[in-house]
Amino acid sequence: MNNNAIIVFGSSRRHGYTGQLIDEVARRHQLRVVDVSDYQMTPYDYEQRNRDDDFLPLMREVASYSQIILASPVYWYTMSSQLKVFVDRWNDLLTIEKDLGRTLRGKSGLVISTGGDVRPERSFAECFMHSFQFMGMSYDGLLYCPTDSGRSLDL
């Protein structure tokens, strides 16, 4: 993890386990956290009717960092729907904003997550790994903390 990193967070609960974990990581490493729920973003649209929502301005900021950390709890063996909308919109970086998409090449990507299992299914990490690699980024790993209902994280 480097200090020129940003955490992009998506969850149904801002202060749930994953939120607690990213807040601690951000505090220790002095990182910026953006919660995609604070932005108006609609799902990917082949007709680009959503060009004026918050995705492209947010993505311009995210792309200014050398390391992009995606953070989500494990929901049904994959990322949260909030973060999925953000990642799906990377399609805009392959079509209408190719120059912005090219700026991701060579950057590194990490994942921070929590979940109820001792370890996440391999497919959870693979969806991030393949997404980062498709954009020309390196996948630098997953920080995962298992949780039990009713327990707080021991950070």
d(CA 137, CA 115): 25
Give me the CATH code for the 5-146 domain, please.
3.40.50.360
How many C-beta atoms lie closer than 10 Å to residue 6's C-beta? 20
CB-CB contact of 93 with 55 (8 Å): no
61 contacts: CB under 8 Å, gap ≥ 6: 6, 34
Q: What is the pTM of this model?
A: 0.94
Q: Partners of 115 in the beta sheet?
A: 146
Question: What is the model's pLDDT at position 120?
Answer: 92
Give 151's pLDDT tier (boundaries 50, 70, 90).
low
Lowest-pLDDT range, 1-15, 22-36, 80-94, 103-117? Answer: 1-15
The ranges assigned to domains in the chain are: 5-146
User: Which SS3 state, helix, strand or coil, does residue 48 take?
Assistant: coil
Question: What is the model's pLDDT at position 2?
Answer: 74
Q: Partners of 111 in the beta sheet?
A: 70, 142
Label residue 70 left, alpha or beta by phi (over 0 means left) and psi (-120 to 50 means alpha).
beta
pLDDT of 150 higher than 70: no
Report pLDDT digits (tens) over 78-105: 999 999 999 999 999 999 999 999 999 9
Record the tokens describing residue 43, joined without a space.
């799902």
User: Which SS3 state, helix, strand or coil, does residue 131 take?
Assistant: helix
d(CA 69, CA 18): 13
Q: Dihedral of CA 84/137/98/40: which sign?
A: positive
User: Which SS3 state, helix, strand or coil, does residue 9 take?
Assistant: strand
H or E element: which one contains 20? helix 17-29
Report pLDDT digits (tens) over 38-55: 999 999 999 999 999 999
Measured between its terminal Cα atoms, the distance across the chain in Å is 17
Question: What is the model's pLDDT at position 155?
Answer: 61
